[in-house]
Amino acid sequence: MTTTLENINREIIKSYSHSFSEEERINKILDHINDKKQEYSILTKCLNKLGSLLTKITWIDDISTSDEVIISGIIAMGKTSDKHFKKFYSAQRRIYVPKGLFKDDFKEMKKAMDFHIEAVLEVEHIIFDLRKNDDFKKLSSLVDEL
Amino acid sequence: MKFFFQKSFISEVKKLLKKNSYKDCETAIIKDIFKLESDDLLAQCMAYRLNPNAKNPIAKLRAGSEQGKSSSYRVYLIAVAIKDNYYFGYIYPKQGVHGKSALKSKEETKIIKNLLNDIKENNVVEVQLNKNKDKICFVSDKKEIFKK
């Protein structure tokens, strides 16, 4: 093969093009990682906020029967959403954990998911079980006498 | 603001601290409850109120490991707030060997009943943070409750 300027030029152009497309590919991957990180962070924040809001329900005074209907709706929504969150979490983990990605993000998301469902179940227990319990009702009035 | 522990509460925390997975338990209680130093502590920490329309709230407080730490666990504490005094009566983790998924109403009522009896009979110990604010100690002799 004769080394002519034409040949070298052709090879140089090919290499540059290849390096540009490689750079573009890396940039796309990095953008995707950043997008995913942001997506997980938003979901984690939302779940933590939901958990905090749910705990606030137990601090509301004079909960009426119609309030209980609303709370039942919130609890049902929480349980259904939890199933979706769990599916999403498992699917995403299956894709990215074997590649060694987002380990800490998934850990924080799992913590937030646990907090969320714990809050849902705790509110359900407090409003619809504990507060209806006769022994607990008696105890509640005793506490206020102290 | 004063803190009081039921004796059985101290034993429960000691039991948890013996297990490696709960070794940060005291730190979590300090960070998420004691260090808040707020006039309205229960509004500042993650707490559920168990009794409705209450003058003296019975609360279930949540404390947990810090963000990013390798161990991830939560403990729940049952406490009664009377004026500016906080009485702690029970602690249980959600995960691990001593983990409990949830307490039943009957169990919770029994725990609170015991705590109220001990409060009435003054069978509780006053506790506070040490100077470095990293350990919980008895008010009476300033000795650390949970030694390593």
B71: left (phi over 0), alpha (psi -120 to 50) or beta: beta
Give tens-digit pLDDT for A54-102. 999 999 999 999 999 999 999 999 999 999 999 999 999 999 999 999 9
Binned average pLDDT, 10 residues per bin, chain B of 148 residues: 93 90 88 81 87 91 68 82 91 83 87 93 93 93 87
Q: For an interface test with A, which of B84, B108, B118, B119 has the most A Cβ atoms less than 10 Å from its Cβ?
A: B108
- Inside any domain, residue B117: yes
Q: Does A114 touch chain B (CB under 8 A)?
A: yes
Q: What is the tally of structural domains in chain A?
A: 1
- Closest chain B C-alpha to A124 CA, distance in angstroms: 11
- Inside any domain, residue A11: no
- Inside any domain, residue A52: yes
Distance (Å) of CA B69 to CA A99, A121, B66, B91: 22, 26, 6, 21
- Closest chain A C-alpha to B14 CA, distance in angstroms: 25
* Enclosing domain of residue A79: 37-145
Q: Are B108 and B92 in contact (CB under 8 A)?
A: no
Q: What is the tally of structural domains in chain B?
A: 1
| ipTM of the complex, rounded to two decimals | 0.87
- Inside any domain, residue A6: no
- Inside any domain, residue A76: yes
- Inside any domain, residue B145: no
From CA B3, how far away is CA B127, in angstroms rounded? 6
The two structure tokens encoding residue A58: 């137990």
- Inside any domain, residue B20: yes
The two structure tokens encoding residue B147: 């030694």
Work out the number of other CB atoms within 10 angstroms of the CB of residue A88: 15
Asked if the Cβ–Cβ distance from A139 to B48 is below 8 Å, we say: no
- Inside any domain, residue B147: no
- Inside any domain, residue B107: yes
* Enclosing domain of residue B22: 2-138
SS (H, E, C) B111-147: HHHHHHHHHHCCCEEEEEECCCCCCEEECCCCCECCC
